[in-house]
Structure 1
Amino acid sequence: MEAILAIAAIVLVLLLSVAAGRITVAGAAVEAAARDAARQASIARTAAAAKSNAEASARASIADQSLSCTAVEVTVNTKGFSRPVGEPADVSATVSCSVPLTDVAFPGLPGSIERRATFTSPLDPYRSRGT
């Protein structure tokens, strides 16, 4: 009887460890994707290209890290592209990912958890930019 209780406790600890590890890895992957997206947006010449480059970069970064997201959302703030050349400006990217936890099968865990990260990258003040 004690062995069954000990085994059950060990299994619960393992399941919680798997869930915590997945959440931690997902958070780091989403932060890296946001950083990559902001960097790619900051080297674009136009706001439209910045949004496109950021989206592609974030999705590629998440795929490269083998993170399975049920939903990925990339939002890029390109207001800095409307500032005149010579003035400091920046661009920011926010990446969110819904990480599934249904396969962990631990009572009380949600079906998925959302991880979100935002990163800001400066625009070159002396490079031409278009909206």
Structure 2
Amino acid sequence: MRRARRHNWREDRGSYSVETVILAPAIIALMLLMIAFGRVTDASGAVDGAARAAARAASLELEAGAAQAAGAAAANRSLTGEGIHCAASSVSVDTSGYGLDIGQEATVRATVTCTAPLGEIGLPGLPGSRTLRSSWTSPIDSYRSRP
């Protein structure tokens, strides 16, 4: 008859330390990757909102010059309000619709570009920044006078 071998717990001594040393870097890298993904998602939504705000603000103005200034100001306010810090940003407002005659359908198109920095996350292999771009179109009132 064989006797059941008793498990000696002393043989497992230190195995938890080895498992922790092996798994900790992978878990930390996964958490940093989730942070980077979250930051890019937040910045992308903020850039979309800024383009929408810029197009809407530009479409409410009476002339093209004021529309460009209002669109740029609205986009910058929107990005600042969302807490997004762009390493580089630009706002382009297409006001060619202001050149059309009254009664014709016209639109204003705003494009916002933001370079979101990712370098401070410190994950090897992660790009230093990501450029996000969004455009939005808003109608101009067809029967409002345009100088």
Q: Which has the larger radius of gyration?
A: 2
Deviation at 1:110, TM superposition (A): 1.2
Counterpart position of 1:83:
100
Deviation at 1:114, TM superposition (A): 0.5
SS at 2:57 equivalent: helix
SS at 1:86 equivalent: coil
Q: Residues 81-102 of structure 1: CA distance to partner in whole angstroms, max 9, x if unpaired?
A: 0000000000000001010001
State TM-score, norm by structure 1.
Answer: 0.97
Deviation at 1:123, TM superposition (A): 0.4
SS at 1:99 equivalent: strand
- The question of 1:129 aligning with 2:138 is answered no
Deviation at 1:5, TM superposition (A): 1.6
SS at 1:7 equivalent: helix
- Alignment length, in residue pairs? 130
Counterpart position of 2:27:
10
Q: Residue 124 of structure 2: which of 107, 115, 126 is its match?
A: 107
- Partner Cα separation in structure 2 for residue 54 and residue 96 of structure 1: 13
Please, which runs of 5 or more residues in structure 2 have no aligned partner?
A: 1-17
Counterpart position of 2:44:
27
Deviation at 1:2, TM superposition (A): 1.6
SS at 1:73 equivalent: strand
RCO comparison, higher one (Cα < 8 Å, 6+): 1
Q: Residues 48-99 of structure 1: CA distance to partner in whole angstroms, max 9, x if unpaired?
A: 0000000000000000000011111000000100000000000000001010
Deviates more, 1:34-43 or 1:108-117: 108-117
Deviates more, 1:100-109 or 1:17-26: 100-109
SS at 1:59 equivalent: helix
- Partner Cα separation in structure 2 for residue 90 and residue 126 of structure 1: 13
Q: Which consecutive aligned stretches of 4+ in structure 1 deviate over 6 angstroms post-superposition?
A: none
Matches within 5 A, 1:33-112: 33-112=50-129
